[in-house]
Structure 1
């Protein structure tokens, strides 16, 4: 298998981000300031020799990816492609709810009152398992379901990427946190959310991931 780099960028700020609502498989457009910060990321990444560009199939990620590709030196060579495998976590019943309220309801039975506190006490995968447990429909993704999906995305990238490639991948806050939590050496604090249009760097070598930087702002 090839060794290649993934430039993992969070989408620009959306209306649900502004209102601090749960935004998993639900989707809202980029807010005006989200477009501006995505354009800043595009300018910062314009000279990166991207071999390919991908985003989740959410509009907020698609639009951010297009803004970045349009300014890139290879804009006439690459066409952004959608990969549903890199969607945000599915929050089931809690989609669209006020975020602090949702995480209080999910964490309270386990003695935690916030998303960050659940992560600190139990880890990222527990946030998924607790979410499915608390969902009255039990339709939210648990950790096993979530990673089965994301792992298939990495396997698809392996079929496309060549040795030394630089790949742009626009995804989502909890997904970037989850990947960082699972594939770093403990250097990064994932109780802190990656900011909109921030960059997280990942090296994939022979099917194995290693996160080398997290939540870098692009200006």
Structure 2
């Protein structure tokens, strides 16, 4: 049975500084690189055929480290459809400062609602509108062919994929939190249905 593995990138500098990152291209911290290394160690039993990542450095670097640890050289497809949710006017802003500026309730709504977007930014629903067509067209295309697929992307682009795969409601997905560098391994059938899910941690 083909496997689809999702990994949120390792810790970035702006994760560390508690800032909204979105589409800003922020590199990994040393801890982020270590998380990527550990993810690679946890995935050594899977011989991936292809990998997908976003157009952002933190995801690409995490993927590079994972493949290096596993010892694989495979095709890597980069697409901004897998980019993090665009946080608009919040990008670069410390989350505590954002609460002071806009109010804690509205910031919580922007972060945790399904369809309310921050100023000039995307909601999770908007993110899913670009992520899911790419998932159906490209990523699941590989699953249908029986390939093992690795996707290294971002908290919100991966949440939209998880919502689709696990058939979650908007209310259910907003409660889902993804840790950096922790692989989620789905066993799939060739029709794209989830047969089993495993979260791998050290």
Equivalent residue in structure 2 for 1:148, among 129, 154, 160: 129
Q: How does 1:163-174 map to 2 (within 5 A)?
A: 163-174=145-156
Q: Secondary structure at the match of 1:62?
A: helix
Alignment check: 8 A CA contact 1:22 1:97 kept: yes
Q: How does 1:94-105 map to 2 (within 5 A)?
A: 94-102=90-98, 105=102
Task: Give CA-to-partner distance per residue, 1:68-122, whole Å, 9 cap, x none.
Answer: 111225x13x13221211111001111111124436737635xxx6369x64xxx
Q: Take 1:21 and 1:192, find their aligned partners in 2: how far apart are those partners?
A: 20
TM-score scaled to structure 2, two decimals? 0.80
Ranges in structure 2 where 5+ consecutive residues have no aligned partner: none
Task: Give CA-to-partner distance per residue, 1:20-46, whole Å, 9 cap, x none.
Answer: 110110121110111111101111112
Ranges in structure 1 where 5+ consecutive residues have no aligned partner: none
Q: Secondary structure at the match of 1:114?
A: helix
Q: Take 1:20 and 1:152, find their aligned partners in 2: how far apart are those partners?
A: 30
Q: How does 1:191-202 map to 2 (within 5 A)?
A: 191=175, 193-202=177-186
Stretch deviating more after TM superposition (52-61 or 98-107)? 98-107
Cα distance change on mapping 1:30 and 1:99 into 2, 3 Å: same
CA RMSD of aligned residues (A): 3.1
Alignment check: 8 A CA contact 1:100 1:114 kept: no
Cα distance change on mapping 1:33 and 1:144 into 2, 3 Å: closer
Q: Take 1:89 and 1:194, find their aligned partners in 2: how far apart are those partners?
A: 14
How many residue pairs match? The answer is 198
TM-score scaled to structure 1, two decimals? 0.75
Q: Take 1:183 and 1:18, find their aligned partners in 2: how far apart are those partners?
A: 30
Alignment check: 8 A CA contact 1:55 1:82 kept: yes
Equivalent residue in structure 2 for 1:43, among 41, 44, 53: 41
